[in-house]
Structure 1
Amino acid sequence: MRLVVSWIAGGLAALLPLTALAADPPPRRTEAMSFSLAGNGGNCLGCEWVAAEGLIIADAPAAFAAFLKQEGWSGCYSAEPVMLDSPGGDAEAAMALGRALRAAGCTTSVGRTVPDPESADAGRPIEMEIAGQCEGACVLAFLGGQERSPRPDQLVLSPLLVDRPGLSAAKGLAEGLMLASRIGVYLAEMGADPAFGPRLALAPDAPPQTLGAADLAGLAIDNSEIETRTPWQVTPYRGGAVAVTTHRIGPQGGDENTLTLFCRRGKPAPAALMLSRRWGADKNNVPSPEPVTLGLAAAEAGGQAVERTVADAESRETDDGWGFLTVDLTAAELAALQAGRSLTLSGGVPPNWGTDWAETATLTAADRDVVALALRNCI
């Protein structure tokens, strides 16, 4: 019996070539998927990762939960992405694992972890990443990453639902349709483009297909560079109003900057601009920005940009990990912003944070009306 419906599913540091290995790498893991903390011995962002390798079976989500407990983690850390290498496995288990990865806030990538023959450490193995693949059901698990950064041809689409002895054509079709429906719901949960769904229906005897760069971007499988910006909106606050916009580069739930523009009663400054972000659940994880600068883009092509260091910027944090950076604008800066020039507020953060804290305010004609309304109702 040939099953009519079949579903398929398919950064860290740059890949190290296999020629860097003194000998052939160990065989690829094909037993039940396991999870372990790996690292190259360095002290940097990306120097450690979670190696998730092997066949995805029913207890894969439980194995991942056991790993988190063993490490004493309540969830993943952005500096330790989950690196998958798998020949596939059970589709239902892969979706359960993907949901567990999402609940833990994990980042996913693809690669294989092998011992580094050029390094040795008596206390802990030194490892390296080489080319890996995430095949079949593994792609479903990969989509669970809150941030996903695959490289072209790492994700391989191959049939998920296969023939079983004694399975009737009618029963096989029913199972295929039910699985297709559940995967459709899962794709929506994980933020993949709905157009990915039809790509998953493939004849059981069709050859595997790899996802290229256009697929990764077009189907929102690689979401590391997706940019989302909201228009300026007026929000009531403390008897007045403020104008607010948000900007995020990366996945939903990732780092998101909020800019708030407002005026304060009894203050000589015509307006204030506040940059805020939730850095983490621990107050100690909020950086103290230094220095703080305001930069105005050039008024016209060939003009001069203007930047000033803000010595009296207000910086505060809250116990739930929010950081707030507020500066008073001069009348000239506010006028330039309202005239269409871009204004960038930035705060220096330690290099080990791996990110800048900066955001640019740019007003469209509609935005200027919103801002004017907020500035007529000071808080």
Structure 2
Amino acid sequence: MLSYRPRPLPTRRAFLLAGAGAVVALGGATPARAAGDGACTAERPFGRYGSPAARLTEQTLYVHPDGQGDHTSVQAAVTAANGGGYTLVIAPGTYRETVTVSVARSGMTWIGASEDPHDVVVVYDNASGTPKPGGGTYGTTGSATTTVQADGFTARWITFANDWLRADHPEITGTQAVAIKAMGDRSAFHHCRFLGHQDTLYADSIARDVFARQYFRNCYVEGDVDFVFGRATAVFERCRFHTLDRTDLAGAPYGFVFAPSTAGANPRGYLVTRSQVTSEAPDEYYKLARPWVPSSDTTSWPMLTVRDTHLGPGIDAVAPYTNMSSGFPWQNQRFREYLNTGPGAEITVPENRPQLTDQEAELATREVYLGDWTPWKAG
């Protein structure tokens, strides 16, 4: 990952609201329900999801920042869920904290009570180079606002954010700042937002020899450098990836959307389907992807397939891929496209845009990637 010089950025509140409205147009967020139709109100902060007095199930915990639930912080509720199968119903609010869902807390579900991801924001501001209280720095993994180690995690209508800003910390060169690191198998995110700059969404696995399936539907992800990265088998369906503008760089590229680090033995990496890539940066200032081969696992064989997706003018159509590390050229990785549209998808130099054949495309589907797990049927 690269480190860049600082740049002026909007206020943190403006940052958290970035992309507001755009996701709704894509089906990426459901507006809050009208009063009388299960909406959150002052009297009913948990909307149609009950209340501590009338729980959905015995394993439902309610989170409210002003004390109207069981807990006032998300981490407190996660800690109280001392086993598998718990549901957290989270009232509207900004929860400034770091959260870890341990391996033992499998099958956990988080629900944003208003059914609008703009209303429930879990955010913190650690970066890789942020000093730790006990010495050293957090590193990329340690910078995550939310870390999910457990299998079977599901989130609906939640914003996961890291609002660490380069401009606030010119002394820090480790500028990776993760909003969420998802590591478990069968992790599903519906109508969620992921906000950050470098390394926003870390779609990974618990260990390099463990394959983890993840599913993202109707989600919004924004950032600048490698802002979707990791070694998970991840399907992104009907999602929007938005590249941010920058003023600290003299020219292109400003960054890279995807940086997969798929294990060499894993036949499936990232699949992006029926989605779109938009940008607020100048045209052609972003690369679609570059391969991440970590020094800890040089056997990685990064895999990314982007199909049936609209690529806006922010993507460099002539050379959409580039290298991250010497000795691992992108041409040797598993990068493919199929039936993409938009100015960023124009094929002007065919050797720079490897395409699936029709026969290969039959195996590049959510069903093939996710196998016997069908999270799209749950919303």
TM-score (norm 2): 0.30
Structure with higher helix content: 1
Q: Which has the higher contact order (CA 8 A, sep 6+)?
A: 1
TM-score (norm 1): 0.30
Structure number, greater radius of gyration = 1
